[in-house]
Amino acid sequence: MSVKVRFAPSPTGKLHVGNVRTALVNWMFAKGQGGSFVLRIDDTDLARSTPEFEQGIEDDLTWLGLVWDERYNQSKRFDRYHDAAERLKAAGRLYPAWDTSEELDRRRKVQLSRGLPPIYDRAALALTDAEKAAFEAEGRKPHWRFKLDGRRTAWEDLSRGHAEVDTASMSDPVLIREDGLYLYTLPSVVDDIDMGITHVIRGEDHTTNTGAQIEIFEALIAAGLGTTVPNFAHMPLLVGADGAALSKRLGSLSVADMRDQGYEPIAITSHLGRIGTSDPLEVAESSSGSGAGVQLRQDGPVAGAL
Ligand code: GLU
């Protein structure tokens, strides 16, 4: 099997060191095995994505030497997502719901006050045809939810080891908003199938998504799209040397800013490549001396086969 991985940033902001580490691990994993590295621009959110951020991502990756073999924009692939959505609808796995956010909020509060988990109660599945027709007649558009299996979905994570997500404890995810916008969950699965991605390597913050996405992979395979679920690896997120989440300091750790401060690309990639390994970490300094010295570590021990 020839290895194929993807790095899938949203062009809604600048690349920061956390993103770059994900890109770097993907790139090293693929290149170490003669595989290929795909750059996928996750720009389904047309309102928040900008050409400037997209260009910035390409410039940063090129400057760092993380050159891609193939490149795609999700915004050019809506017909593929539509085809997948129709297959899921036909299989009864994608269902329309008209609940407003106020209704959902109220029901969540009632669940919490009864000591129940605040998950979607699937009220939309109990609607009669007449009730659905009445919503349509009012001109209201539905959003579309994926019907989870409600089971323990398990996989052998190449970073974390055996992993499980109980999808019975999750709300059926909304895949399509009422304005027709595809949220990240379905397009990512369709792309991983269409592009032949063998390994999905991403941050630990996506672990719960993976439970739902594995069920979507399986539902699409059963509906004739794709053949295999890829392997997954979820990496611990980067934190500052003080253990604080990186997000609070993103501004000062964007790749563009580090370039401006005089860091060499090799200093950044070799530093990020060592975090989470047993190799010694030296603090990177900018050549201009203006950088404060970047100190990072990963939020957890080293593990797994990656
Ligand atoms: N656009 C997603 C993100 O930046 C991609 C996640 C993934 O790798 O599947 O979080």
Same structural domain for residues 169 and 198? no
Residue 77 has what pLDDT? 98
Domain CATH for 133: 3.90.800.10
Cα dihedral 35, 212, 183, 193 in deg (nearest 10): 30
- Does a structural domain hold residue 305? no
- Does a structural domain hold residue 220? yes
Same structural domain for residues 128 and 65? no
**Whole-angstrom distance, CA of residue 284 vs CA of residue 281:** 9
Same structural domain for residues 198 and 289? yes
- Does a structural domain hold residue 306? no
Phi/psi for 72 (5° steps) reads -140, 155
Same structural domain for residues 130 and 189? no
- Does a structural domain hold residue 157? no
Domain CATH for 234: 3.40.50.620
Residue 241 has what pLDDT? 75
- Does a structural domain hold residue 156? no
Protein residue closest via CA to atom 5 of ligand 1: 8
One digit per residue, the tens of pLDDT, for the chain of length 306 reads 799 999 999 999 999 998 999 999 999 999 999 999 999 999 999 999 999 999 999 999 999 999 999 999 999 999 999 999 999 999 999 999 999 999 999 999 999 999 999 999 999 999 999 999 999 999 999 999 999 999 999 999 999 999 999 999 999 999 999 999 999 999 999 999 999 999 999 999 999 999 999 999 999 999 999 999 999 999 998 887 777 777 655 556 899 999 999 999 999 999 999 988 888 776 655 555 544 455 667 776 554 555
Same structural domain for residues 134 and 257? no
Same structural domain for residues 47 and 171? no
- Does a structural domain hold residue 278? yes
Same structural domain for residues 225 and 275? yes
Protein residue closest via CA to atom 6 of ligand 1: 8
Count of domains for the chain: 2
**Owning domain of residue 120:** 80-151+163-176
Same structural domain for residues 74 and 112? no
Residue 291 has what pLDDT? 46
- Does a structural domain hold residue 29? yes
Q: Which of 188, 200, 209, 250 to mutate to test the pocket of ligand 1 (most atoms within 8 A of CB)?
A: 188
Q: Could you identify the residue written with the tokens 């919503």?
A: 135
Residue 137 Cα to ligand 1 middle (Å): 37
Residue 133 has what pLDDT? 96
* Catalytic residue ranges: 248
Residue 207 has what pLDDT? 96
Ligand 1 lined by 8 (C-beta under 6 Å): yes
Contact 62, 7 (CB under 8 A): no
Residue 249 has what pLDDT? 57
HSE, side-chain direction, 13 A CA sphere, residue 88 = 28
Same structural domain for residues 73 and 204? yes
- Does a structural domain hold residue 303? no
Ligand 1 lined by 9 (C-beta under 6 Å): yes
